[in-house]
């Protein structure tokens, strides 16, 4: 047996030499050079990978630092006032003087149903802000991306609001399947992508789906009707509060009065 061959037994017990390496000796220097080049390339790639990991750690640390900043995600008073003025002038949408200045009632429904025009106007307004007054990394593409995401959220909520305002028993099985299996999951999934935490009202969508399954429409079951019932009940309570009777008799008198 030599350096390039090995023994192989055959049926007639004779021995033949088979090559262990099919590469000619003249090609070995070339292969050695290729191996050296591959090792150097691998080493350079390893160094780039380590640098990328270090940059990622630095970016993550910077992100955590920015998120802890009290001004993170907040708009200046000037920008907030500009947004409020634009909503009022273009779409007649106003903030309420209660609920922390949130949009409620008909103004909220206007915001949902006109999500395309509203968010497009907000994009145009925000992109007019000079770059030096923006946060780092807030370019026009970033503004467009986030506003498109919130536009889609408003559209989903507008569709859900439409179905919620339908009379009892009018939502079909196919519509209910679309709400349960498509609309609400997409809304929650997109909201999770746009925000690190979900507000309680988003968690309550699961209960809304249960109620829609049960009533197939909640036109007479929304908040305004409940508020009216509270006011009526309070007036009736005041009417019978001085009645000298047990609690059960007073409740019976109130129910009889309300029925008449």
pLDDT digits (tens, 9 = 90+) for 8-30: 444 445 545 445 455 555 556 66
Cβ atoms of 111 and 154 closer than 8 Å = yes
pLDDT digits (tens, 9 = 90+) for 180-216: 999 999 999 998 888 877 777 777 888 888 888 988 9
Q: How far apart are CA 149 and CA 153, in angstroms?
A: 6
pLDDT digits (tens, 9 = 90+) for 106-147: 888 888 889 999 999 999 999 998 888 887 778 889 899 989
Cβ atoms of 212 and 218 closer than 8 Å = yes
Phi, psi for 15 (deg, rounded to 5)? -120, 135
Cα of first residue to Cα of last residue in the chain, in angstroms, is: 116
- At 3, the pLDDT band (50, 70, 90 cuts) reads very low
Q: What is the mean pLDDT of residues 168-178?
A: 91
Return the CA Rg of the chain: 35
The DSSP bridge partners found for residue 9 are 15
Cβ atoms of 4 and 19 closer than 8 Å = yes
In the block, which residue shows the tokens 């409620």? 104
Beta-carbon neighbour count of residue 156 at 10 Å? 20
Q: Residue 7 has what pLDDT? A: 43
CA distances from 228 to 154, 163, 221, 238 (A): 27, 22, 11, 16
Element of type H or E holding 151: helix 140-164
């Amino acid at each position: 047996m030599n350096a390039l061959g090995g023994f192989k037994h055959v049926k007639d017990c004779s021995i033949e030499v088979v090559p262990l390496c099919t590469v000619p000796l003249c090609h070995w220097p070339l292969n050695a050079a290729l191996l050296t080049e591959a090792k150097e390339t691998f080493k350079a790639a390893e160094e780039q990978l380590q640098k990328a990991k270090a940059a990622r750690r630095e970016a993550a640390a910077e992100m955590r630092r920015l998120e802890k900043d009290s001004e993170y995600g907040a708009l200046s008073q000037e920008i907030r006032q500009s947004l409020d003025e634009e909503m009022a002038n273009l779409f007649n949408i106003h903030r309420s003087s209660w609920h922390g200045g949130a949009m409620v009632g008909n103004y909220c429904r206007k915001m949902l149903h006109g999500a395309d025009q509203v968010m497009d106007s907000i994009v145009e307004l925000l992109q007019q802000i000079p770059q030096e007054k923006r946060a780092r990394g807030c370019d026009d593409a970033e503004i467009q991306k986030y506003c498109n995401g919130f536009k889609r959220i408003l559209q989903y909520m507008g569709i859900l609001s439409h179905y919620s305002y339908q009379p009892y028993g009018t939502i079909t099985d196919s519509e209910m399947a679309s709400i349960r299996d498509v609309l609400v999951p997409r809304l929650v999934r997109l909201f999770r992508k746009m925000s690190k935490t979900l507000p309680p009202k988003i968690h309550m969508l699961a209960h809304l789906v249960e109620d829609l399954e049960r009533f197939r429409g909640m036109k007479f079951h929304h908040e305004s009707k409940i508020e009216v019932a509270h006011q009526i009940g309070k007036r009736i309570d005041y009417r019978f509060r001085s009645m000298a009777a047990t609690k059960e008799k007073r409740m019976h008198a109130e129910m009889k009065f309300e029925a008449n």
